[in-house]
């Protein structure tokens, strides 16, 4: 494989210029020794091996969004034509953002908040991202709890969702024949046994939030607690233990994905579904909504501008080749989305064939319904070993989600340990796992899915977009692209090419601001199962949004007020200027870096 600086994006600087400065740390042994010194001096963990970082990033990015969100978004936005805007946005937003976050994390060895020592008044961006992570990790764990429940129940002799139950008292059809509770007119719309099982047995779901949230489903809460215990055990020793777990979370799901791809391709009707997936609707490609969907999917899939990548990169050795890793990870993530799309539409094509439905879109559901209803129903119809495939599928789903949840939890632990040096890693892991389980219990109530939809709407998408714009401003316009290029030259021995610098300076921030404008123009209030949320729910939702954004102005005001300069303009400049100790965390590297800046 070609080294990163041989990539065309990096190759517009002659080799003599790339490695001419004697301050550049380009000796591998020196780099490793400096990294070991940094670990000794600052008591900061590092990855045991570079591959652990790569696999952890893959596990973080390749998650539930690839399996259930990408196929649904592609279907809604032009089918095969959606791949074109998705790849364009990947090149203009995804890759530049991913590499940028890797640079800032690895260069500074700082977590989500302290990385903004490069522009201290912007630490509110990191604070806001932490609020978002708190919201996402708690509801994300509840989805994993559902997957874990399906995994254990797949060991039954008969898959429990493959048959209708009389106590459901609703018209129902199953893979084993039709069972109904028709009224005399027979004018009843039946639901599948998998859908009723999901709603009544797993969620104990109420119609909508207007019926209240109800009581906790203790069966589901047990699986939630087990999920947080698993996360806690994996993170007890920080990246030293989570890095080893990455061999499972970053590799095993791909084995399962290829197993299911082979199985899907052997099913009757599968190729009709895959053809439906790749058939482009070219008239949709010029619609602004399609490009908006491409960027939002990038956020969900790559986890870019979400603080996870900064955190993981902060545990790298100072000279780790992140330019190589950023290319590998973004390619793998995109490939996985396409692979998952083929599997999804292959299975859905088979289900449509079994049901005698010509329009494949009629049997397609997005979100949890795709995996817990559509997939579950299709697997239950397998004539050969449905239990085995069900066990493998829900285990794969759980591991996919676990990699993302580990990254989110690691972000919180890193921030805690960055701020409070005396807190041991296992203290933070246990404390946050208990917090996550308690907050996650809200999503195991009878109205938990309604709460999840509310928090997801108000606490993630818009907040993430806005914070992403300010993150780019902080790194690329306040700290500066020129300074970032110098940092990369000192750290890795080359200067990023024009592709990166143009994207960081102009293209990526402009696209992100356009996304914000589009979001405001076409904003719609969230709905709960077709019903309007009550007014108080929207009030709570906007409070969640405010809790993520309020830190930005508060910390800017606080930072300016703490400066000692005489004039207001000078205080503002000082508040946004890097701190005196900004740079590599290792003291010897920091001194070399400061000398390097004097001559560059």
Q: Record the tokens describing residue 316, joined without a space.
A: 């790298």
| Residue of 186, 183, 53 lying closest to 109 (CA atoms) | 53
For residue 591, is pLDDT > 60? yes
Runs of H (alpha helix) within 235-307: 239-249, 252-265, 270-278, 288-302
The residue-averaged pLDDT of 567-595 equals 94
Cross-strand partners of 291:
none
| Residue of 447, 460, 441, 67 lying closest to 228 (CA atoms) | 441
Cα–Cα distance, 88 to 286 (Å, whole number): 13
**Could you give the C-alpha distances from 547 to 117, 220, 481, 540, in angstroms and in order?**
22, 29, 30, 10
Q: State residue 576 phi and psi, 5-degree precision.
A: -100, 5
Q: Are 31 and 318 in contact (CB under 8 A)?
A: yes
**Could you give the C-alpha distances from 599 to 24, 478, 501, 557, 582, in angstroms and in order?**
12, 21, 21, 34, 18
The 3-state DSSP class for residue 260 equals helix
Q: Is the alpha carbon torsion for 124, 130, 132, 134 positive or negative?
A: negative
| 301 marked as binding residue | yes
What is the pLDDT at residue 177?
57
Cross-strand partners of 191:
172
- pLDDT, one tens digit per residue, over 214-271 is 899 999 999 999 999 999 999 999 999 999 999 999 999 999 999 999 999 998 999 9
What is the pLDDT at residue 176?
60
For residue 532, is pLDDT > 70? yes
Q: At what angle do helices 587-598 and 481-492 cross, to 10 degrees?
A: 120
The residue-averaged pLDDT of 546-558 equals 96
Q: Name the burial class of residue 207, with classes exposed (0-12), middle (13-18) and buried (19+) by CB atoms within 10 angstroms of its CB.
A: middle
For residue 203, is pLDDT > 70? yes
The 3-state DSSP class for residue 174 equals strand
Q: Name the burial class of residue 530, with classes exposed (0-12), middle (13-18) and buried (19+) by CB atoms within 10 angstroms of its CB.
A: exposed
| 316 marked as binding residue | no
For residue 574, is pLDDT > 70? yes
Check: pTM over 0.85? Answer yes or no: yes
| 488 marked as binding residue | no
- Measured between its terminal Cα atoms, the distance across the chain in Å is 32
pLDDT band at 208 (very low <50, low <70, confident <90, very high): confident
- pLDDT, one tens digit per residue, over 315-339 is 999 999 999 999 999 999 999 999 9
User: 181-185, 386-390, 483-487: lowest mean pLDDT where?
Assistant: 181-185
What is the pLDDT at residue 496?
96
DSSP class of 213 = -
- pLDDT, one tens digit per residue, over 9-39 is 443 443 433 443 444 444 333 444 444 444 4
Sheet with 177-179, side-by-side order of all strands: 177-179, 172-174, 191-192
DSSP class of 423 = S
Q: Where are the domains of the chain?
A: 18-156+234-445+467-519+538-598
- pLDDT, one tens digit per residue, over 509-530 is 999 999 999 999 998 888 887 7
Go through the chain and tell me how many residues it has: 600
What is the pLDDT at residue 68?
82
What is the pLDDT at residue 366?
67
Cα–Cα distance, 418 to 114 (Å, whole number): 7
Chain centroid, CA 100 distance in Å? 17
Q: Record the tokens describing residue 49, joined without a space.
A: 């091996």
What is the pLDDT at residue 88?
95
pLDDT band at 531 (very low <50, low <70, confident <90, very high): confident
Return the higher-pLDDT residue of 435 and 73: 435
Return the higher-pLDDT residue of 370 and 6: 370
| 62 marked as binding residue | yes
Q: Are 145 and 401 in contact (CB under 8 A)?
A: no
What is the pLDDT at residue 10?
42
**Could you give the C-alpha distances from 551 to 121, 128, 364, 458, 559, in angstroms and in order?**
10, 6, 40, 16, 12
| 400 marked as binding residue | yes
What is the pLDDT at residue 31?
43
Cα–Cα distance, 567 to 420 (Å, whole number): 34
Question: Residue 527 belongs to what H/E stretch?
Answer: strand 527-528
- pLDDT, one tens digit per residue, over 97-127 is 999 999 999 999 999 999 999 999 999 999 9
Spell out the residues 6+ positions from residue 556 whose beta carbon is closer than 8 angstroms to its own. Answer: 121, 122, 124, 575
Cα–Cα distance, 459 to 368 (Å, whole number): 19
CA-only gyration radius of the chain, Å: 25
What is the pLDDT at residue 223?
98
Cα–Cα distance, 347 to 341 (Å, whole number): 10
What is the pLDDT at residue 178?
52
What is the pLDDT at residue 43?
66
Q: Within a 10 A sphere around the Cβ of 76, how many other Cβ atoms? A: 16
**Could you give the C-alpha distances from 312 to 25, 168, 232, 479, 524, in angstroms and in order?**
21, 47, 17, 21, 35
Cα–Cα distance, 510 to 472 (Å, whole number): 10
Return the higher-pLDDT residue of 76 and 141: 141
The residue-averaged pLDDT of 150-157 equals 95
- pLDDT, one tens digit per residue, over 269-315 is 999 889 888 888 888 888 899 999 999 999 888 999 999 999 999 99
Spell out the residues 6+ positions from residue 161 whose beta carbon is closer than 8 angstroms to its own. Answer: 193, 194, 197, 198, 201, 376, 377, 380
What is the pLDDT at residue 285?
87
Spell out the residues 6+ positions from residue 56 whose beta carbon is closer than 8 angstroms to its own. Answer: 47, 239, 242, 243, 246, 249, 250, 312, 403, 406, 407
Cα–Cα distance, 10 to 27 (Å, whole number): 20
For the structural domain made of 18-156+234-445+467-519+538-598, what CATH number should be given?
Answer: 1.20.1740
The HSE-up count of residue 421 (CA atoms within 13 Å, CB side) is 6
| Residue of 91, 94, 103 lying closest to 499 (CA atoms) | 91
């Amino acid at each position: 494989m070609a080294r990163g600086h041989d990539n065309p994006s990096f190759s517009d600087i002659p080799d003599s210029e790339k490695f001419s400065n004697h301050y550049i740390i380009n000796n591998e042994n020196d780099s490793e020794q400096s990294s070991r010194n940094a670990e000794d001096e600052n008591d900061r963990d590092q990855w045991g091996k570079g591959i652990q970082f790569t696999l952890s990033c893959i596990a973080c990015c390749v998650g539930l969004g690839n399996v259930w969100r990408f196929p649904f978004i592609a279907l809604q936005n032009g089918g095969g034509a959606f791949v074109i805007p998705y790849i364009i946005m990947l090149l203009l937003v995804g890759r530049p953002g991913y590499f940028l976050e890797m640079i800032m994390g690895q260069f500074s060895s700082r977590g989500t908040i302290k990385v903004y020592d490069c522009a201290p008044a912007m630490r509110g961006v990191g604070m806001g991202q932490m609020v978002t992570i708190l919201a996402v990790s708690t509801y994300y764990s509840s989805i994993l709890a559902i997957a874990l429940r399906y995994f254990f129940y797949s060991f039954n002799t008969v898959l429990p969702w493959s048959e209708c139950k009389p106590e459901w008292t609703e018209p129902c059809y199953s893979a084993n024949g039709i069972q109904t509770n028709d009224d005399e007119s027979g004018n009843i719309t039946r639901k599948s046994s998998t859908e009723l099982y999901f709603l009544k047995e797993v969620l104990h779901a109420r119609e909508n939030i207007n019926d209240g949230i109800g009581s906790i489903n203790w069966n589901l809460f047990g699986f939630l607690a087990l999920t947080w215990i698993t996360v806690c055990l994996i993170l007890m020793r920080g990246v030293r233990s989570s890095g080893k777990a990455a061999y499972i979370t970053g590799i095993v799901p791909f084995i399962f994905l290829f197993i299911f791809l082979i199985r899907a391709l052997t099913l009757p009707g599968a190729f009709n579904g895959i053809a439906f997936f790749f058939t482009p609707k070219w008239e949709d490609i010029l619609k602004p909504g399609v490009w908006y969907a491409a960027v939002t999917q990038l956020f969900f899939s790559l986890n870019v501008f979400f603080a996870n990548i900064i955190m993981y990169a902060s545990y790298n050795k100072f000279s780790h080749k992140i330019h190589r890793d950023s290319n590998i990870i973004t390619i793998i993530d995109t490939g996985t989305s396409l692979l998952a799309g083929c599997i999804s539409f292959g299975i859905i094509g088979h289900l449509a064939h079994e049901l005698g439905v010509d329009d494949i879109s009629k049997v397609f559901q997005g979100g949890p319904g795709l995996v817990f209803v559509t997939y579950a129903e299709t697997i239950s119809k397998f004539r050969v070993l449905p239990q085995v495939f069900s066990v493998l599928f829900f285990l794969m789903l759980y591991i996919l989600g676990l990699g993302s949840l580990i990254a989110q939890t690691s972000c919180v632990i890193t921030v805690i340990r960055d701020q409070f040096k005396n807190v041991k890693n296992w203290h933070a892991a246990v404390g946050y796992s208990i917090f996550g389980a308690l907050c996650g219990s809200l999503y195991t109530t009878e109205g938990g899915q309604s709460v999840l939809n509310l928090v997801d709407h108000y606490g993630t998408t818009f907040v993430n977009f806005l914070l992403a714009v300010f993150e780019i401003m902080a790194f690329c316009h306040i700290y500066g692209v020129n300074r970032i290029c110098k940092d990369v030259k000192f750290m890795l021995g080359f200067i990023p090419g024009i592709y990166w610098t143009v994207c960081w300076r102009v293209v990526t921030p402009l696209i992100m601001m356009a996304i914000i404008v589009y979001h405001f123009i076409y904003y719609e209030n969230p709905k709960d199962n077709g019903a309007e949320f009550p007014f108080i729910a929207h009030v709570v939702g906007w409070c969640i949004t405010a809790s993520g954004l309020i830190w930005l102005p508060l910390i800017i005001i606080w930072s300016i007020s703490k400066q000692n300069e005489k004039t207001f303009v000078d205080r503002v400049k000082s508040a946004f200027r890097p701190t005196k100790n900004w740079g590599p965390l290792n003291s010897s590297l920091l001194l070399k870096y400061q000398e390097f800046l004097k001559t560059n």
